[in-house]
Amino acid sequence: MAGAMLVDSHCHLDYLAESGDLDGVVARARNAGVGTLLTISTKLSTWEGVHAIARRYPEVWCSVGVHPHEAEQEGQETPERLIALAQAPEVVGIGETGLDFYYEHSPRKAQEASFRAHIAASRETGLPLIVHARDADDETVRVLREEYAAGAFPGVIHCFTAGPGLAEAALEIGFAISLAGIVTFKSAESLRETVKRVPLERLLVETDAPYLAPVPFRGKTNEPAFVPHTAAKLAELKEVSPETLAAATTANFFRLFGKAEAPAGAALGA
């Protein structure tokens, strides 16, 4: 994709670092045309490691937040700690947070309380909310609508796998929709039909690495260098060229994550 930079808007480089080849992971991403990466916080107890990675590589930014799986042990009841940590220059988003009723590793009440604290932090800082939603579409829509009525905040539904109801509600409040490798899976036809109805100017692309490697790497450890495969499927679904898709999703990322700085010389679309 000459001249068309991609962004991995959601990956977990701290998990990939466990292989001992983080330099290689970042270099392979760069060589694949992935010029910016957002590495995501899942626990405040490990946030310093996430932050250190963002400080180490100029093309990497990070978030601060607590995954719904961790809400019982590390969930935030108030936004103050999130707001304080978000002052670091490398922090460009709040999350990931949200609701996961598939695994229910944490009680639903704890998940929702932490979700609302993250929303308050997003509203206060102006940084976009990074939302995880699994088997909790209706509840996620309810919380987002209730909180948005109390005050606007930007955000994205990451690794979108839900139905059209959550997509429509997210788009209604101005959120972006981010797609991971699942959109390339043979079994994901209903997801692809929903994606076709999402405006190009609201789409982001991600890996969620080390999880959910796209076809043709399904079943292998995912990494940011695989973003172009998911982007190619999205370009096909949106009936645009890979270059157009890359330019649009990259521009969308920097518009949403306004604190992140694009690499010098990067050509951003409208």
Q: Extract the annotated binding site for a divalent metal cation.
A: 10, 12, 96, 132, 158, 208
**Cα–Cα distance, 215 to 197 (Å, whole number):** 22
Q: Which residues contact 94 (CB under 8 A, 6 or more apart)?
A: 63, 64, 65, 82, 86, 118, 121, 122, 125, 127, 128, 129, 130
Query: What are the beta bridge partners of residue 91?
Result: 62
Q: Is 244 left (phi over 0), alpha (psi -120 to 50) or beta?
A: alpha
**Cα–Cα distance, 62 to 51 (Å, whole number):** 6
Annotated binding site: 10, 12, 96, 132, 158, 208
Tracing tokens 């009936």 back to the chain, one arrives at 239
Six-digit token pair at 11? Answer: 């990956």
Rounded to the nearest 10°, the torsion over CA 262, 245, 222, 161 is 110
Q: Considering only the C-alpha atoms of the chain, give the largest distance between any 2 of them, rounded to a whole number of Å.
A: 48
Cis geometry, peptide bond prior to residue 216 (ω within 30 degrees of 0): yes
**Cα–Cα distance, 13 to 240 (Å, whole number):** 30
